[in-house]
Amino acid sequence: MPCSATKLEEARAYERREGSAIPAQDRPAFHLTPWVGWMNDPNGFCYYQGAYHMFYQYYPYDTVWGPMHWGHAVSTDLLHWEHRPCAMAPDTDADAKGCFSGTATPTPDGRLLLLYTGVQDDGKGGTKQLQCLAEGDGNDFVKDAANPVIGESLLPEGASCVDFRDPKIWYEDGVYHCVVSTRDDREQGRILLYESPDARRWTYRTTLDVCRNEYGKMWECPDFFALDDRQLLLVSPQEMEGTPDGEFHAGFGTVALLGRYDKERAAFTRESVQPIDYGTDFYAPQTTLTPDGRRVMVAWMQNWATVNEAPRNHRWFNCMTMARELFIRDGRLCQRPVREIEAMWKNTVHRKETLDGSTSYAGVAGRRLDLTIRLDAAASPECRRFILRFAQNDRHFTSVEWSSAYNELVFDRSCCGSRRDIPHQRRIKAAPQNGVLTLRLVLDGDCAELFVNDGERTISALLDTPADAQGISLHSEGAAVLELTSHELA
């Protein structure tokens, strides 16, 4: 049946009425927000018929999590998004308890497939999670009459349908493939690989990787792709333990497993592991390929551990990160803002100087800007500390502080205006590369994304700062030779 039953029509009517009443100035400029209500994981991120499509976990009726729908937006530049009508609602037996996360891929004949997790009663007072299919034209979708297309009988021994979700689908060499997360009877996250000739008749192929309770427990939202000379498996672990060096933080994390993949044997060999992002607000990343071959990623700019307090009087809650290009450098996953952002640059300020003390620069201020600072550490032996403060007024600021003695960087939003007792600080290693420390900060209202050393590490964080806090200042203890470039974004 078409995904146009009463629940879907009700959601579409509600979002047209309520979402259209939210002024554009109440939203970030280039971070996707829900049309109205609640948003979490990005879903179905793909390029289809000349536009990027972003679906997302969605509950239009409130700013808290509820029965999951799929919201929908499109963009031609990965930065400016146009809301489309709700794509799916939980309106069949196979997904009556929610249309959970999934992905999308175009078919050879020009249709768009959505593979998602349908949540349903298990008949024992609980729920089970199985994989469902919908097909459509990019606006309206028909759920498959045979849903779920990946059911309990296709689970390997020891895997559980209580936690069996978030399929990532792709089409390659005439075959549909998907990876799905599950938790086994030893409480370990596992990533399962399935194959199908038509996206409807699936066969379990193998288990690609197991967390062995080393990086969290349940692994959510897998993504699996080749990048440069590596194969990457991205996962979002629950119940992470922090590490003494600060490389991994406790709670809900995001992890990239880098290695090699033997397609013939369907064997993934893990070679290294790293966090995807070090910030307080980054989860469930999903990637797609651009027409020119770039691998780009978007994530939910929030965290399950701190998500339960929506701002008062808001009619929408949560957003996505900006899109980022992924690349490998020296065996490490790195990220940079998508190059499309350069079309938004205006009122550029460029300065080179030696700073010892505190300063601010005319034309370098605001809450929508792309700011890059290159600190020549090799030429600044007396610089003990360097601090960037932004979103600043007499009471509020967020800071990025670098210590030369420890090659350590601290991102601190403790004074941003938040009244919540939640993590406000992240501490990471940040050694200069070829003698230079590079900090690139992209601001969009309360969305802050920091790229350290040309994307070697990133920190994503939400602020809670009044809009009139527009100041940006630099501070150095000891002479610092630096170069600053600032672009307002419009």
- pLDDT classification of 53: cutoffs 50, 70, 90: very high
- pLDDT classification of 4: cutoffs 50, 70, 90: very low
What is the structure's pLDDT at 5? 58
196: CB partners within 8 A, 6+ apart = 175, 176, 177, 178, 202, 203
The yes-or-no verdict on residue 2 having pLDDT over 60 is no
CA distance 46 to 34: 18
Question: For the residues 371-377, what does the mean pLDDT come to?
Answer: 99
Residues recognised as catalytic? 41
- pLDDT classification of 307: cutoffs 50, 70, 90: confident
What is the structure's pLDDT at 176? 99
Q: How far is CA 292 from CA 126, 150, 296, 328, in A?
A: 45, 33, 11, 17
What is the structure's pLDDT at 1? 40
Domains by residue range for the chain, with CATH: 6-337 (2.115.10.20), 341-489 (2.60.120.560)
3-state secondary structure the chain: CECCCHHHHHHHHHHHHHHCCCCHHHCCCCCCCCCCEEEEEEEEEEEECCEEEEEEEEECCCCCCCCCEEEEEEECCCCCCEEEEEEECCCCHHHCCEEEEEEEEECCCCCEEEEEEEEEECCCCCEEEEEEEEEECCCCEEECCCCCCECHHHCCCCEEEEEEEEEEEEEECCEEEEEEEEEECCCCEEEEEEEECCCCCCEEEEEEEECCCCCCCCEEEEEEEEECCEEEEEEEECCECCCCCCCCCCECCCEEEEEEEECCCCEEEEEEEEECCCCCCCEEEEEEECCCCCEEEEEECCCHHHCCCCCCCCCEECCECCCEEEEEECCEEEEEECHHHHHHEEEEEEEEEEEEEEECCCCCCCCEEEEEEEEECCCCCCCCEEEEEEEECCCCCEEEEEECCCCEEEEECCCCCCCCCCCCEEEEECCCECCEEEEEEEEECCEEEEEECCCCEEEEEECCCCCCCCEEEEEEEEEEEEEEEEEEEC
- pLDDT classification of 334: cutoffs 50, 70, 90: very high
Convert the pLDDT of each residue in 214-237 to its tens digit.
899 999 999 999 999 999 999 999
Give the other-Cβ count within 10 Å of 49's Cβ. 11
Convert the pLDDT of each residue in 84-104 to its tens digit.
999 999 999 999 999 999 999
Question: For the residues 374-394, what does the mean pLDDT come to?
Answer: 98
pTM for this model (two decimals): 0.96
The yes-or-no verdict on residue 310 having pLDDT over 80 is no
- pLDDT classification of 312: cutoffs 50, 70, 90: low
- pLDDT classification of 306: cutoffs 50, 70, 90: confident
List, edge to edge, every strand of the sheet that includes 112-121. 98-106, 112-121, 127-136, 141-143
CA distance 309 to 361: 36
Convert the pLDDT of each residue in 400-454 to its tens digit.
999 999 999 999 999 998 888 788 999 999 999 999 999 999 999 999 999 999 9
The yes-or-no verdict on residue 3 having pLDDT over 60 is no
